Chain A
């Protein structure tokens, strides 16, 4: 890992890029405060970014450098770890961390892949990819039951959804091929929000016959009257072959074979 760049730096950084100093003390974004730590860079290479800024190489970006940090000279190249501040005809970001470009070789192994909610591939640093895996593993560890199985029935279980943000609970019954966590059984029942309201649209909607790796949470409130578990998070449905990716490798062979 590059000097001074820690996993925390990466966690706090949504936009990582190699850039060359163009103009200290200036901004390409109107109406943001400008001081001697406000510097315009030219983006040479995007190393980590959501889809919307994946093709920003060649653009200018205004960086609010960390207070008290050294201001690089015009023409100097750095790798910047940043978080967002403002977007207009230009982009303004705030520095979270900094490294010399040659020092970031270990970080710069690039992968590309779609991010949830986006339609096109984007660059992702290997370190960021690893952190995403860690986040998913932590999410799986928080689940109260984890099974691989196939949806055998779906049933609407609550009355009309009369609020804009009602979940519109449906009940899924899954024939279990493998139980990784929670009580063993031939089937498991869980509720899921069938609503396409903005509050719920990203939560998976099990389809008849779909096979998945289900990360289930103990149901509460009205949902608990219907089923012991609930599907609540966009990450609660994974592919069966991802069991190993979630740190549950021992079961992976059996699970994959059984699904």
Chain B
């Protein structure tokens, strides 16, 4: 059941009106009171570092730490975070705000304490990379020493045409240069110049590491034809040919095509948001052969609405079900499987028509792949026309859900208009607000602050 929904903006920033979109989340599995979240949030004092959100009480309250090197008008660029399971070290992948004018700049960072107030050191620094996505774990090694295994999916556009990439280290805590990180191309097929931006990764304690990426096979104008490709490694990526355990029997190529001949109109628009790439993957911790994926496309062609699909494999990614869940006009699918083998699914969807259109964020848990119908829990619903966008992405090119034991934790961004009807299952704001007047208030408690996009956290337990 839903435990809480919390607006992450702290009370000391009640005067902010930024578009805090594209959230991400890390929860320390060893201590779930410890959390880190991120969004396109600038340092409110416009200092040299961008902030992360931190919580030390299980997400009930949140604060900002300005520790990410580089701070632009929206903070850092794309950012993703992950805790290792044993060491508690926080790993971060960013597109730095300190990039050359016409290039992106991947940096991989780490901090031994998520509450640190010092600038995070840089482990990896590379140009022309997009959308880093961090997952981490700790693996018992020799002499009882655990090693942090850290994986950063990214779209390495400096290496066209095969761009889907994972940078990973099998000892991320190492003091050596780059902390053992090396870059591995997971795309082996032919592309139309590049892969899609999202490269997502799912880990299983057995050492099976799954990745999913979108292979762009054809581009005509803005219309992309693509395949959803799943790759796998069976020993943490430690062998000579990482992520080559799955092959497609149709042509013997590395990686299994889970879906083919899909259509996406790149940079299409829906409710102020841009479209073109949604992706998620999750592995069942109770069975390393059970893996779930989600993606977005336009079924049947460019005129169709953007649609989210969820499918499952029960044989390690070799064969795939049909759609077990489908959301028309959906966005930002997130998947996670808890210790009971139950799947959590978050999705943001545009509902209604015309001026009444709303962005609705729901979360649902299925125990049997939706054989038994599930009624989604509405976390948030708000008019899609408000506020006006200041940049893209409006809500984000992604959100995130994480499972720890039997609990689920997630973040999403949305319109912060203070109306409790927009949060039918409850809400906590830290920032100043007059709920009766439906008005955000500044630090002085009286000056009106305009609505904007804020990041929201939720916790769900079984």
A-B complex is real? yes
A201 lies within 8 A of B392 (CB)? yes
Residues of A within 8 A of B77 (CB): 165, 198-199
Query: Pick the contact of A14 from B47, B193, B266 — CB < 8 Å?
Result: B47
Which residues, 430 to 450 on B, are CB-close (under 8 Å) to A? 430, 442-444, 447, 450
A85 touches B443 (CB 8 A): no
B156 to chain A, nearest CB (A): 12
Please tell me the number of chain B residues within 8 Å of chain A, measured between CB atoms.
60
Residues of A within 8 A of B74 (CB): 198
Q: A87-B51, A198-B74, A198-B393 are in contact. Are A163 and B63 (CB under 8 A)?
A: no
Q: Does A84 make an interface contact (CB < 8 A)?
A: yes
Say yes or no for B167: interface residue by CB 8 A criterion.
Answer: no
Contacts of A165 in B (CB 8 A): 77, 95, 104, 130
Contact in complex: B391, A198 (CB < 8 Å): yes
A220 close to B (CB within 8 Å): yes
B64 with A53: CB separation less than 8 A: no
Establish whether residues B15 and A53, one from each chain, have CB atoms under 8 Å apart when the complex forms: yes
| A residues 36-51 in Cβ contact with B at 8 Å | 49-51
A234 within 8 A of B: yes
- The answer to whether B10 touches A52, judged by C-beta atoms less than 8 angstroms apart, is no
A86 adjacent to B117 (CB under 8 Å): yes
**In this complex, what residue of A is CB-closest to B44?**
A52
> With contacts A84-B45, A165-B104 known, is A234 near B13, CB below 8 A?
no
Compute how far the CA of A76 lies from the CA of B442 in the bound complex, rounded to whole angstroms: 28
Which of the segments B218-226, B241-249, B292-300, B318-326 contacts the partner chain? Answer: B218-226
Q: Which residues of B contact A85 (CB under 8 A)?
A: 65-66, 117
Secondary structure type dominating chain A contacts: loop
Q: How near does chain B come to A13, taking the closest CB pair, in angstroms?
A: 9
Q: Which of B13, B44, B77: most chain A Cβ within 10 A? A: B44
The answer to whether B345 has its CB under 8 Å from any CB of chain A is no
A83 at the interface (CB under 8 A from B): yes
Contacting pair A87 B117 (CB below 8 A): no
B61 within 8 A of A: yes
Task: Choose, from A55-63, A145-153, A251-259, the stretch at the interface.
Answer: A55-63
Cβ 8 A contact of B47, one of A30, A53, A83: A83
Q: Which stretch in A88-96, A102-110, A170-178, A241-249 binds the other chain?
A: A88-96
Question: Are A90 and B12 in touch, CB under 8 angstroms?
Answer: yes
Instruction: State which of B22, B95, B197, B266 has its C-beta within 8 Å of the C-beta of A160.
Output: B266
Alpha-carbon gap, A198 to B47, bound state (A): 19
Taking the complex as formed, is B314 at the interface, i.e. its CB lies under 8 A from any CB of chain A? no
Please state if B56 and A50 are interface contacts (CB–CB under 8 Å).
no
Least CB distance, A135 to chain B, in whole angstroms? 12
**Interface residue A232 (Cβ < 8 Å from any Cβ of B):** yes
**A129 on interface, CB distance cutoff 8 Å:** no
Q: Does B5 sit at the interface, judged by CB under 8 A?
A: no
Chain A residues with CB under 8 Å of B95's CB are 165, 199
B63 near A88 with CB under 8 A, answer yes
- A51 B61 Cβ-Cβ under 8 A: no
Taking CB atoms, residues of chain A closer than 8 Å to B277 are 164
Nearest B-chain residue to A91, judged by Cβ: B12
Contacts of A197 in B (CB 8 A): 391-392
**Cα distance A166–B405 when bound, in Å?**
40
12 intermolecular pairs with C-beta atoms under 8 Å apart: A33-B117, A50-B45, A53-B443, A57-B444, A87-B13, A88-B12, A89-B430, A160-B219, A163-B194, A163-B197, A201-B392, A232-B101
List A residues at the B interface (Cβ < 8 Å): 14-15, 29-33, 49-59, 83-93, 115-120, 160-165, 167, 195-199, 201-202, 220-221, 223, 232-234
Using a CB–CB distance below 8 Å, which chain B residues touch chain A?
10-13, 15-18, 22, 40, 42-47, 51, 54, 56, 61-66, 73-74, 77, 95, 101-102, 104, 115, 117, 130-131, 157, 193-194, 197, 219, 221-222, 224, 266-267, 276-277, 389-393, 397, 430, 442-444, 447, 450
